[in-house]
Amino acid sequence: MIGEMDADMVVGYFGGKSILITGSTGFLGKVLVEKILRVQPDVKKLFLLVRAPDVESAKLRIQTEVTGREIFLVLKEKHGMGFYDFIDEKICPLAGDIMHENFGLDTANLRELSKDIDIMVNIAATTNFSERYDVAFDANVLGAKHVCAFARKCMKLKMLLHVSTAYVAGEQEGLIPEKPFLIGETLKEGTHLDIESELNLIRETRRELKANCSSEKAERRTMKELGLKRARQFGWPNTYVFTKAMGEMLLGHLRGELPVVILRPSIITSILKEPLPGWMEGIR
């Protein structure tokens, strides 16, 4: 267990830091945002990257899907009438998407961010076990690649924290050591994974579907089946954990001297103690 002194050191470290967080509208993301703002109000800035056509739309999404949720009630009570001013001071919305290079941000935005960011936390992902292969690949594989490339442009970055899943280990039994994946590594003996070939397969499949004038329903079914087929061919049980494993591989391969931490949580459930004991959002 982390000691009280260690916890205080972590909280203190966030003081004066600028942190870029992806996936803040998800369950884990909003828990992290609330926690940082509650325990370290002296954080300099939280840059929240959300899918939106423009900054105003991004701000509205954050107000609706993050700071407007029940988990922020404790912060609202703490700051009273000053809550919204506090949020405006600390949170900077970014309209972008990890599926695009440089998150789709313009050059001016990119230049300023690269000077400011101290820590990056990548939580954004698609967690649907049987997602379309192209959609899961864009978010969990290319997304990790784009996050890493962006992080390498940040001049004073201290750490890139990437949230993966314990289930990248597949359906193994016994003691499973925590070790990074090497590029091309698989869970099935005698196979080798080429990530570029997987991308080309996705593109070729989509071209064929369009050439055959396939319906949207047929395209969705085909892409879902392709993801499951490729995952099982290399030893993973589903598209989600397969693409998360590939994302880890790319991070390890492309990081260079970048300080990277990969977290592999198992099942993320409700909050145990604070700020709202038992709080949960969405049941699947």
For every residue of 170-230, DSSP letters joined together read -S--S-----PPPTT--SSTT----HHHHHHHHHHHHHHHHHTT--HHHHHHHHHHHHHHH
| Blockwise average pLDDT, block size 10, the chain, 284 residues | 70 94 94 95 97 96 95 94 96 96 92 95 94 98 98 96 96 89 95 98 97 95 98 97 98 95 86 74 63
Domains and CATH numbers, the chain: 17-169+178-183+238-263 (3.40.50.720)
Q: What residues contact residue 106 under an 8 Å CB cut-off, 6+ apart? A: none
**Residues tagged active-site:** 240, 244
Count of H-run helices and E-run strands, the chain: 11, 6
pLDDT at residue 132, rounded to an integer: 97
pLDDT at 57: 97
Give the per-residue pLDDT at 56. Answer: 96
pTM of the model: 0.92
pLDDT (0 to 100) of residue 271: 64
What pLDDT shows up at residue 82?
A: 95
pLDDT of the residue at 4: 61
Question: What is the signed CA dihedral for 94, 138, 192, 172, rounded to 10 degrees?
Answer: 80
